[in-house]
A and B are shown apart, each in its own frame.
Chain A
Amino acid sequence: MGDTMTSPALLDVAGITQRFDVSKPWLQRLIAGDPIRVLRAIDDVSFSIAPGTTLSLVGESGCGKSTMARLAVGLYTPSEGSIRFAGQDLSAARAQPALRRRMNMIFQDPYASLNPRWLVTDIVAEPIRQFRLAQGKAAIRARVGALLTQVGLTAADGDKYPHEFSGGQRQRISIARALASEPDFLVCDEPTSALDVSVQAQILNLMKDLQRRLGLTYLFISHNLAVVRHMSDRLGVMYLGRIVELGAAETILRTPRHPYTRLLLDAIPDLDHIGRARTPVGGEVPSPIAPPPGCSFHPRCPLANDRCRQEKPRYTVVDGVQIACHAVEEGR
């Protein structure tokens, strides 16, 4: 089902599925008589993002957020469905440097994503060299200095190694590198999850400032709903590879309609609930290798009935929000 949106999308994800073969090696499988096992990390997902806006994906570990992130920048080719970037099919776009330059990714772990043996200057300069965005040592240095300044570091920081920086500063370096190719689309996979809240505030403010100044479009991934609320225009809630609720972030967070979204909102420990006593929903996210039939949330859902156990829910649109739930559709 298409996503309801007015302006033409920068990124348009249509009915994509991503399968991974997680079988044992074939010889082992042959001896033990094990079947081929396929994991469906993304299951028929559609959404689109308008230029200059932020769409966030939230969900618990293993629900497919990082897989979606990699698909969105063309690091995986979807098993089914298509992704269009600026009107062009992404699998073709990846082959064109002019389009590849326009998208980049920021990761959760600023330690692992920076090469420890490179000077910061060389880390940030790599995309500039790769796409020939500046010629000659002096011009490249000047550009790197400007990028470092833009993310709140100094040009002199270019002469240091990543290990000389704190976690928050390293994330600033990652952002400078991501901006070096002058992209208009950034996929940010849990960019502040490894950071302390006070450092997180600095990075989130920086990301918003940059978005405003450079007109960036973000696909923002997080498991923290308060962070998502702060950053997003639109929001998709994921559970076991599917988007169960998709629409304006404010609407969903003010009036969550899908039972899983409600569970998530209810589970967040919050400063406004000092001493709250509650009865949390039980159970954990099941394995995506053998997801429950019908609505995959049914084993944990307080509203589940027979139909939920057999039939996959389709989207119902309420208040401009798409919700994949039989109870919502039936008005229960």
Chain B
Amino acid sequence: MTPLLEVTDLTVEFPTRRGTLRALDQVSFSIGAGEVLGVVGESGAGKSLTGAAIIGLLQPPGRIAGGTIRLEGERIDTLPPDRLRRIRGRRIGTIFQDPLTTLNPLYTIGRQLTETMRTHLPISESEARDRAIGWLDQVGIPAAAHRIDAYPHEFSGGMRQRVVIALALCAEPRLVVADEPTTALDVSVQAQIITLLKRLTRDHGTAVMLITHDMGVIAETADRVAVMYAGRIAEIGPVSDVIRNPAHPYSRGLMDSIPSMAHRAERLRQIDGAMPRLNAIPAGCAFNPRCPSVFDRCRSDRPVLLPAGNGQAACWLHG
């Protein structure tokens, strides 16, 4: 069966005066229909760029320098911008950290919902309005029929993010790319939004690429998880394996550094050092200067994703 989304050897570069920076280096993964793939990693690891490349919103001078992106078997990385714009919205919905980047402050939320639906679905204005009320209701906006004519600024941050979810799902896309959808929200509201996103995408069979640096959110939401480091995928596998029994030394370090609610340690385990900048990525394995298990081969040969447990890890310990 072809996966819903298939990314193969995706490479993204930024030409600069001091040479070309490779921000994504041969990133490969797939997402099945109805599946939630979590993408984690520290800031600068390349999570957002991966999402932006898939939805065709890479900011120039950033460009795809290699690899392919296929949606339901069809290549979308080479499509002209107007075709891609139609796919985004119809077949791919997007949710970003700040709802105000998605919502137009000058239009009522009802108008934004009906326009999105009418651009992509063959329905009448009144049908679109009915559905818009239905969506607002589904995302938990009280008195939806009444609130539909309100403007974005009349809503709280949590309510706005609910509207953005309605907007991302209303054209019934097959895939939603959500980049840090709860990072700007309060803890109690985060829980509401994650629960909502999980329920709606399951009910509608929508696949989700959930980008976040919050492992807790991934643990509760994702089926599989990809851990990124320095523009590459370090490990990808079922969420319980990656969290409980990580195969890559970086994922292990990452999990160990998270303070736990369950048990208290005097010190947290820490990975010394920092992720390298793009212009100073070491040869071989990008993690080798910080890796407690490093050996000779790691300094010269770059590991590819190799089978490890129920998933894959880019690490020579599995080679």
Contact = CB atoms under 8 A, between A and B. Distances in A.
Q: Do A and B come from one complex?
A: yes
B104 interface: no
A227 B254 CA distance: 15
A139 interface: no
Nearest to B265: A230
Contacts of A223: 186-187
A271 B244 CA distance: 9
B240 A226 contact: no
Interface in A251-300: 253, 263-276, 278-282, 284-285
B259 to A, nearest CB: 4
Contact of A197 (B159, B187, B192, B258): B258
B268 A269 contact: no
B59 interface: no
Nearest to B239: A274
A4 interface: no
A113 interface: no
Interface stretch (A70-78, A81-89, A102-110, A199-207): A199-207
B220 A275 contact: yes
Interface in A185-213: 196-202, 204-205, 208
Interface residues of A, number: 46
A269 B257 contact: no
Interface in B166-215: 186-192, 194-195, 213-215
A278 B195 contact: yes
A211 B213 CA distance: 28
B279 interface: no
Nearest to B184: A61
Contacts of B260: 226, 271-272
A229 B270 contact: no
B85 interface: no
Contacts of B194: 269
Given A205-B267, A272-B260, A276-B220, A284 B191 contact: no
Contact of B192 (A225, A274, A282): A282
B156 interface: yes
Contacts of A284: 156-159, 186, 188-189
B219 A197 contact: no
Given A205-B268, A278-B195, A284-B158, A273 B188 contact: no
Nearest to B42: A196
B186 A269 contact: no
Contact of A280 (B157, B188, B254): B188
Contact size class for B?
35 or more
Contact of A199 (B140, B156, B266, B274): B274
Q: Which of B190, B243, B264 lies at the interface centre, i.e. has the most chain A CB atoms within 10 A of its CB?
A: B264
A241 interface: no
Contact of B243 (A230, A268, A274): A274
B274 A166 contact: yes
B186 A61 contact: yes
Contacts of B159: 284
Interface string B236-250: 000110011000000
Nearest to A271: B219
Given A201-B269, A274-B240, A268 B186 contact: no
B62 interface: no
Contacts of A200: 257
Contacts of B43: 167, 196
Contact of B261 (A60, A196, A197, A253): A253
Nearest to A204: B268
Interface in A86-117: none
B269 A269 contact: no
Contacts of B32: none
A168 interface: yes
Contacts of B216: 268-271
B187 A268 contact: yes
B135 to A, nearest CB: 18
B191 A285 contact: no
B196 to A, nearest CB: 9
B45 to A, nearest CB: 9
B259 A271 contact: no
Contacts of B264: 229-230, 250
Contact of A271 (B192, B215, B270): B215
A281 B253 CA distance: 33
B188 A264 contact: yes
Contacts of B243: 271, 274
B191 A267 contact: yes
A13 B271 CA distance: 38
Nearest to B277: A166
A229 B221 CA distance: 24
Given A61-B186, A274-B240, A204 B259 contact: yes
A272 B220 contact: no
Interface of A: 60-61, 166-169, 196-202, 204-205, 208, 223-227, 229-230, 250, 253, 263-276, 278-282, 284-285
List 3 A-B pairs, minimum CB-CB distance, nearest first.
Answer: A269-B216, A201-B257, A196-B42
Given A197-B215, A204-B268, 4 more contacts: A196-B42, A230-B259, A267-B190, A280-B192
Interface of B: 42-43, 140, 156-159, 186-192, 194-195, 213-217, 219-221, 239-240, 243-244, 253-255, 257-262, 264-272, 274
12 contacts: A60-B187, A197-B257, A198-B254, A205-B268, A227-B259, A267-B188, A269-B217, A270-B216, A270-B261, A279-B195, A280-B188, A285-B188
